[in-house]
Structure 1
């Protein structure tokens, strides 16, 4: 049974089991009310300031086609928050679908502005093997989930401001088969509307796209990436300042795949430009 304490939804082990089952079956689950509004407000204010700074830095933003950008978040307050990247609800779902040690590899924001368009339908990761080599039962691929994206919006996500769109179940189909089913309408491209505080956990192998933001306000969506400890993820990175890193419990340090530096750089050159497969 879901309870709400202080405005934050509390989930039982049965609830977490259900979310994990949805994730395995559909490639996505949405968990309402994980974060309180105060936290979202703090992140929104800090993000707006950061985005303005990055706009004025050469290479400070990664282009995501027309009027859409990606930026890596610095590991500073309020973004460096164990109650977010190691949130018990999120970890409870991840631990039910990752059957080995996993690491966090990414923390950034995807933000479409007015003038953005539909992205090409894509995946964020290549499969472990070619589609022809992956083990299958019928037309379903049985490779377990080995990477996950955790998203949460800093504003309400509506039909007008660029909702994330995904075709459920395509994470277990060969890419071309999934694209055919989407094109024929057999599997719809579904929009996911969210409230501030909601969390989406999804497989980056599922076919998806960004949709147009038709409003005059940006739609920032935080993305945190987690992967099996053995997966090579060269396009995304975390950089932590040494004093903060050393203040973390050992289990959290082990969960973060990061570069540890004495002082965080003042400027960030975005390298996560190629993102579609």
Structure 2
């Protein structure tokens, strides 16, 4: 555990209750999971990575006007081990995705002043396990880098929509605007504070909202799969040998990555076309 997290008192954790909420709403969370100091370091790591990535082709991909997504190597986040070994994070991964869960992605989304409302969407097509069997096979953990306020384009979601079929939608991810009333009627905006963490199904309908604030809102994303979900093919995480050897075995057992002598900058594979053109 890092020095920034070592003295932090953990909130009470009830994995069974969190899983129940996740299956009902498509999203759940834990307030105060990390210290503010730890979160400030995470924010600094994200912004350093952003200014490096935005300067090279494929380093930062657009998610609409003034909004970008950047994939990272685990070493870019100094608190990576704290994150993936946190008892609530590891507990949710195992409870939902099974004992052989796979850590397949780490990155962050950041809107800046001028970002617009995104279209309602999910992050990838729903597999049969989800739309037919009502089973969650992948998780997205989100950690805000700031205390979110109304003018920072808060994340908006439509609870309970993770089971929507979606096979007739554009790219099986973007429902026609004629269907949006179902989502706006359910819409809930989230205002997490530094140190909070959420866990959601990426199939739950959601969108980023308009961001008039001059303060950017970076949000860390950790992607986890059940075996066979297949999202590792969309990513290419790498770690150096020294970093890999320093990880606890409990992390190495779940991390889907290449072990290399030197890290290669990531050229992203998962560009969500509908978010480039569809913002309001």
Using the size of structure 2 for normalisation, the TM-score is 0.85
Gaps of 5+ in 1: 136-141
| Deviation per residue, 1:117-162 (Å, 9 max, x gap) | 111111112121399xx53xxxxxx331100100000001121101
Query: In the superposition, relative to structure 1, how do residues 124 and 206 fare at CA in structure 2: closer, same or farther (>3 Å)?
Result: same
The structure with the largest strand share of the pair is 1
| Deviation per residue, 1:230-277 (Å, 9 max, x gap) | 121122231111221123233321201111111112x33233312769
Alignment check: 8 A CA contact 1:165 1:189 kept: yes
Aligned to 1:199: 197
- Number of residue pairs matched? 262
Aligned to 2:143: 152
**Structure 2 residue 266 is the aligned partner of structure 1 residue 274:** no
Aligned to 2:248: 249
Show the 5 A alignment for 1:1-277.
Answer: 6-12=7-13, 15-76=14-75, 78-79=77-78, 81-99=80-98, 101-129=100-128, 134-135=131-132, 142-175=133-166, 182-184=180-182, 187-233=185-231, 234-265=233-264, 267-274=265-272
| Cα distance in structure 2, aligned partners of 1:125 and 1:79 | 28
RMSD of the alignment, in Å? 2.6
Greater displacement, 188-197 / 81-90: 81-90
| Cα distance in structure 2, aligned partners of 1:67 and 1:91 | 33
Query: In the superposition, relative to structure 1, how do residues 232 and 65 fare at CA in structure 2: closer, same or farther (>3 Å)?
Result: same
Greater displacement, 48-57 / 222-231: 48-57
| Cα distance in structure 1, aligned partners of 2:246 and 2:209 | 40
Where has structure 1 moved over 6 Å in runs of 4 or more?
Answer: none
Aligned to 2:278: none
Residue 69 of structure 2 aligns to a residue whose secondary structure is strand
Residue 20 of structure 2 aligns to a residue whose secondary structure is helix
Gaps of 5+ in 2: 1-5, 276-280
The structure with the largest helix share of the pair is 2
